[in-house]
Amino acid sequence: MKLEIGNFQVKDVVFGDKTMFKNGILTINKEEAMDFIKEDEHIIDLDIVIAKPGENIRIVPVKEAVEPRIRPDERSVFPGITGDVEATGSGRVHALKGCSVLGVGMHYGSFGDGLIDMGGDGAKYTLFSELINICIVAHTDEEFERFEQQKKNRAIRWATHRFAEYLGNTVKSLEPEEIETFELDPITKRTEEINKFPSVVLVMQPQSQMEELGYNDLVYGWDMNKYVPSFMHPNEVLDGALISGSFMPASSKWSTYDFQNFPTIRELYEEHGKSINFLGVIMSNLNVSLEQKRRSAIFVAQMAKSLGADGAIVTEEGYGNPDADYILCIAALEEAGVKTVGISNECTGRDGASQPLVTLDEKANALVSTGNVSQLIELPPAEKVIGELQALARDGLSGGWAYDEILGPSVREDGSIIMENNAMFCGDRIAGWSTKTMKEF
Amino acid sequence: MKKAIHYINQFFAGIGGEEKADYKPEIREGLVGPAIALNSILEAEVTHTIICGDNFMGSNTDEAVNTILGFLEDKEFDIFVAGPAFQAGRYGVACGTICKAVKERFNVPAITSMNVENPGVEMFKKGIYIFEGGKSAAKMREDVKTMANFANKILKGEKTGPADEEGFFPRGIRAEMWLKSGKTAAERGVEMLVKKLNDQPFETELPIPKQDRVPIAPPIKDLSKANIAMVTTGGIVPVDNPDRIQSASATRWGRYDISKIDRLESGVYKTIHAGFDPAAADADPNIIMPIDAMKAYLKEGKIGKLHDYFYSTVGTGTTQAEAARMGKEMVGKLREDNVDGVIMTST
């Protein structure tokens, strides 16, 4: 399977008369764009705001991030979401690099939403401070969940995917500045030269723990709570087969942007034919009951074994309860003779003294740590807020609170904030971007 | 200039060896023994040296600690240093004991040094900075220097690094930090995997502690003839806590006679556990240590005998090593009375 991603580097994003991409400048006709997004009648109030790296801007509550893309051959970018269900992972897709479309609540946040600081000390926590963010700031008519801590955020999430594709249209018929090629031969048809390297699978555990549908990650538009582990091609992940859900605390989240650019997949591609033979992705899930967790671990270990994997990397979109799936899966692979490395974050508490993962197993002897979800972060006021700052304190974001007898509320009168890393949007960069680790102090 | 106070034992103070190990705590103005070396490197003045015999600290711990805390009450100091204790077990435990007490009372950083084999490491590494030191006094200069360098960072308000960079034993505190190398998790993960695949050494970023699993005992065949004992980590004790079991990070345990009572009355027993809201347990201690139910089973003949004592300690913050030691001590007593089975209640 061969995927070509044609890249267009976005140097600036501005509003103007015509929506187009020229000389690195993405121009957006705001009125037309607003009309397009408002085609969804559930969006009842809307603004589009641009936030650039280094600006003294705080964005919250952020629900989703998507890289703008388009397919020259008319297939939808996110099958099952923005168009018909069709295969992804091969052919050509065009991408606007260096920018993302953010879905931001105009007023209300929810448990899995996060915060992004574009400048100052807070910028170091999230990758999205390094991108030009085209923020859809929206209010919706989803009254049933208005004051719920858990929100599906369907209208805003779908708006980001649709709008990302809309903006991608600007480069549909242009010639990319650079084409990245992702290609793997079928497993049984590989050359001797490749086959001499140890075979490796990537096991991904996307968030799928909400029994009620609508909150989980989707694969080809299918809610992953109703899914058992399958073998997937890494190109499918990079090419829009998966979109992010609306449940996991923000710092442990994989946004759709993460799926589209998944650094661990890219790194495995990088080493393919140099030090490993990258077989592909075992797309697993995260579960609620122990029986479900065990079942998935069995599926994964069996597939890895049958595929002839010598090694595996397991990575989870989450922390806490999902650690049980993560550790069970690593242990099952090790028991099947597959040498395994795990990539995830930890939860050692605000004082750093808690057990780092919910379950531990000595077989998990090769782990990469990307951060501590409960790290306290204190930041000064920002000049401008996109969204509504109070959402961090008021709406039950996983890293915010309305009241704490010692720390006070997350959002202070002067606009300064105190929060847990939990609410930093994709703050632990578990997809593989993280340059953070955890150390004993 | 900032100020420091140094704790050493009778031996390093030049008072004497084993025969002087009962030496009572003393505070002297100025520098004695290793304090001279410390003072020469530390960017603070070592104003006093405290001397105490290792046996005195070991056998009269409360008196020794209280006397020393009393010495310090009117002193100004920014940092407290003890040792280095090398492999000397009693000295190491003494350094740990006093550092912990001083840190808790005066909230100043407390630093000591000992060899990895010193039992004081396992007992005290959680609460204080213990630097990895040499086996014997031959390493005195180096060990003092290591402590002083770290102390200087603290005194200057500099950011201190993780345990492996600084050289102290991990305190059980894990925190995030940005890697100077800028290497991403993806790069680190794949690199680690390639090393693991090629049987090359690699270093996990999250070491999983070795689990010391105890196999589950075979079932008791006839409960109606069995002698059953009750043990808890829920901190249920007589209200005056006669064994002075700590409310957290316990190192002590007690056993209490229940042969003549049918239940644990509120006001007679209570919990001293600091890890949960005690209201319910204080109102009815049997909800944690169900003597009432066990006595009822005894009357019904469901169990043959209820061991005359219940055993209690506190589980919160207690190290695995301390818990294992206390457990072994309890087992000794239970064996003496031919106990067949134990019900362990937690919280």
Residue at a domain's end among B166, B182, B198: B166
Shared-domain flag, residues B150 and B236: no
Shared-domain flag, residues B32 and B115: yes
Mean pLDDT within A207-221: 96
The answer to whether residue B175 sits within a structural domain is no
B139-198 residues touching A, CB cutoff 8 A: 160, 162-164, 170-179, 182-190, 192-194, 196-198
Residue with more model confidence, A317 or B247: A317
Average pLDDT of chain A, as a whole number: 97
Residue at a domain's end among B166, B199, B214: B166
pLDDT of B122-167, one tens digit each?
Answer: 999 988 999 999 999 999 999 999 999 999 999 999 999 999 999 9
The answer to whether residue B39 sits within a structural domain is yes
What pLDDT was estimated at residue A156?
98
Count Cβ atoms below 10 Å from residue B50 Cβ, excluding itself: 25
Q: How many separate domains does chain B show? A: 2
Whether residue B327 has pLDDT greater than 80: yes
The answer to whether residue B256 sits within a structural domain is yes
Shared-domain flag, residues B155 and B37: yes
Kindly identify which residue of chain A lies nearest to residue B163, measuring between CA atoms. Answer: A441
> A51, A386 in Cβ contact below 8 A?
yes
pLDDT of B278-299, one tens digit each?
Answer: 899 999 999 999 999 999 999 9
Whether residue B321 has pLDDT greater than 80: no
> B220, B302 in Cβ contact below 8 A?
no
Residue at a domain's end among B166, B201, B232: B166
A88 contact B CB<8A: no
Shared-domain flag, residues B233 and B329: yes
Domain that residue B306 falls in: 223-345
What pLDDT was estimated at residue B316?
80
pLDDT of A154-172, one tens digit each?
Answer: 999 999 999 999 999 999 9
Tokens 């409360």 -> residue: B62
Q: Tell me how many residue pairs between chain A and chain B have CB atoms under 8 A apart.
A: 156
Shared-domain flag, residues B148 and B52: yes
Q: Which of A271, A356, A421 sits opposite B206 (nearest CB)?
A: A356
Average pLDDT of chain B, as a whole number: 94
B279 contact A CB<8A: no
B202 contact A CB<8A: yes
A351 contact B CB<8A: yes
Shared-domain flag, residues B156 and B275: no
A178 contact B CB<8A: no
The answer to whether residue B179 sits within a structural domain is no
What pLDDT was estimated at residue B347?
76
Residues with Cβ within 8 Å of residue A246, at least 6 apart in sequence: A63, A64, A110, A112, A151, A152, A153, A154, A157, A214, A215
The answer to whether residue B315 sits within a structural domain is yes
Instruction: Output the domain CATH number for residue B133.
Output: 3.40.50
The three-state DSSP-derived secondary structure of chain A is CEEEEEEEECCEEEECCCCEEECCEEEECHHHHHHHHCCCCCEEEEEEEEECCCCCEEEEEEEEEECCEECCCCCCCCECCCECCCCCCCEEEEEEECEEEEEEECCCCCCCCEEEECCCHHHHHCHHHHCEEEEEEEEECCHHHCCCCCCCCHHHHHHHHHHHHHHHHHHCCCCCCEEEEEECCCHHHCCHHHHCCCEEEEEEECCCCCCCCCCCCEECCEEHHHCCCEEECHHHHHCCCEECCCCCCHHHCCCHHHHHHCHHHHHHHHHECCCEEEEEEEECCCCCCHHHHHHHHHHHHHHHHHHCCCEEEEEECCCCCHHHHHHHHHHHHHHCCCEEEEEEEECCCCCCCCCCCCCCCCCCCCEEEEEECCCEEEECCCCEEEECCHHHHHCCCCCCCCCCCCCCCCECCCCCEEEEHHHECCCCCCCCCCCEEEEEC
Shared-domain flag, residues B161 and B238: no
What pLDDT was estimated at residue A201?
98
Nearest 10 degrees: Cα torsion A165, A265, A429, B126: 170
- CB contacts of A375 in chain B (<8 Å) are 175-176
Whether residue B317 has pLDDT greater than 80: no
Q: Do A439 and B174 touch (CB under 8 A)?
A: yes
What pLDDT was estimated at residue B249?
76
Shared-domain flag, residues B253 and B115: no
Shared-domain flag, residues B161 and B227: no
Whether residue B319 has pLDDT greater than 90: no
The answer to whether residue B173 sits within a structural domain is no
pLDDT of A81-140, one tens digit each?
Answer: 999 999 999 999 999 999 999 999 999 999 999 999 999 999 999 999 999 999 999 999
